[in-house]
């Protein structure tokens, strides 16, 4: 039941940041909200930032999981992706020149969040809960057919089986893709931090250690709350590296 509790906590806490909606009402007034606009509203495209603003940074298109099994093949960027990363590099260079620490940290946080929850990954924490619920219902249905015998242990056994199966699904379809995306995109970010020099060796080493710890935490035999802890450790490390590369 500890595993099931861990999965429940993860699903409740590990939700993505709310989406921002840009829309115009019937009177022609523009609105920016975190809730969907009314049915009669005109939905607008999110405006690209013309320059770096305090606490904000443009976001390049996040690379998805590589076809290579270990996800470490050299990233092949399309012209649009290359242009987006170069634009981010220029924005970060401007923020660095102005001493804008908030923007540098925001770029790290934004990229990590996109790697974690983009392209439908935001829905995956529900899968282990569905596994627990379905296996629990199956155990309850089988227990109803028993005239005598231990019904409660049967239901509990199926719930634990569902928790174990849900944990495998969580690792295979959420943690592993997240770990691959984070490593691919953050290694690419190391080349687009708005500096004219490479990372210091000690920073490169500690980031590589964080990537490896993240990949180990995504293995099936790890407890479900270890991976979010490693993500938070990586987030804090990347912020420090971004400010002082």
Token pair of 187 as six digits:
């290694």
pLDDT band at 40 (very low <50, low <70, confident <90, very high): confident
Residue labelled with tokens 């975190």: 34
Q: What is the pLDDT of residues 154-202, one digit of tens each?
A: 888 999 999 888 889 888 889 999 999 999 999 989 988 888 888 889 9
Q: Is the pLDDT of residue 13 over 50?
A: no
pTM: 0.67
Token pair of 221 as six digits:
């035999």
- The end-to-end CA distance of the chain, in Å, is 44
Question: pLDDT: is 50 or 30 the higher one?
Answer: 30
Percent of the chain with pLDDT over 90: 22
224-156-161 Cα angle (round to 5): 45
Residues in the chain: 245
Q: Is the pLDDT of residue 50 over 50?
A: no
CA gap 119, 121 in Å, rounded: 6
CA gap 1, 9 in Å, rounded: 12
The per-residue pLDDT for 54 is: 40
Q: Over the chain, what is the mean pLDDT?
A: 79
pLDDT band at 45 (very low <50, low <70, confident <90, very high): low
Q: Is the pLDDT of residue 66 over 70?
A: no
The per-residue pLDDT for 217 is: 94
Q: What average pLDDT does the segment 4-19 reach?
A: 45
Q: What average pLDDT does the segment 14-31 reach?
A: 65
Q: Is the pLDDT of residue 61 over 90?
A: no
| Contact in structure between 207 and 190 (CB atoms under 8 Å) | yes
Cβ of 122: how many Cβ atoms within 10 Å?
A: 16
Q: Is the pLDDT of residue 11 over 80?
A: no
Cβ of 29: how many Cβ atoms within 10 Å?
A: 8
Q: What average pLDDT does the segment 99-118 reach?
A: 88
Q: What is the pLDDT of residues 75-104, one digit of tens each?
A: 577 788 888 888 888 989 998 888 888 888
Query: Three-state secondary structure along the chain?
Result: CHHHHHHHHHHHHCCCCCCCEEEECCCCCEEEECCCCCCCCEEECCCCCCCCCCCCCCCCCCCCCCCCCCCCCCCCCCHHHHHHHHHHHHHHHHHHHCCCHHHHHHHHHHHHHHHHHCCCHHHCCHHHHHHHHHHHHHHHHHHHCCCCCCHHHHHHHHHHHHHHHHHHHHHHHHHHHHHHHHHHHHHHHCCCCCCCCCCCHHHHHHHHHHHHHHHHHCCCCCCCCHHHHHHHHHHHHHHHHHHCC
pLDDT band at 58 (very low <50, low <70, confident <90, very high): low
Q: What's the farthest any 2 CA atoms get from each other in the chain?
A: 76
């Amino acid at each position: 039941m500890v595993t099931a509790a861990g999965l429940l906590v993860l699903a409740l806490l590990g939700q993505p940041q709310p989406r921002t909606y840009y829309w115009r009402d019937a009177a022609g007034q523009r609105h920016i909200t975190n809730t969907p606009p009314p049915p009669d509203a005109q939905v607008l495209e999110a405006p690209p930032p013309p320059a770096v603003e305090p606490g904000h940074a443009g976001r390049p298109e996040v690379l998805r999981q590589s076809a290579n099994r270990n996800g470490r093949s050299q990233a092949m960027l399309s012209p649009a992706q290359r242009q987006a990363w170069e634009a981010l590099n220029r924005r970060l260079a401007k923020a660095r020149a102005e001493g804008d620490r908030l923007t540098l940290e925001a770029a790290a946080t934004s990229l990590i969040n996109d790697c974690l929850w983009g392209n439908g990954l935001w829905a995956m924490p529900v899968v282990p809960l569905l596994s627990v619920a379905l296996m629990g219902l199956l155990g309850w249905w089988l227990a109803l057919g028993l005239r005598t015998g231990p019904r409660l242990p049967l239901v509990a056994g199926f719930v634990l089986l569902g928790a174990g199966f849900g944990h495998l699904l969580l690792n295979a379809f959420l943690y592993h893709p997240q770990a691959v995306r984070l490593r691919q995109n953050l290694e690419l970010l190391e080349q687009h931090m708005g500096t004219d020099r490479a990372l210091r060796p000690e920073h490169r080493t500690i980031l590589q250690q964080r990537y490896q710890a993240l990949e180990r935490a995504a293995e099936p035999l790890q407890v479900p709350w270890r991976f979010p802890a490693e993500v938070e450790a990586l987030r804090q490390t990347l912020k420090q590296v971004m400010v002082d590369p």
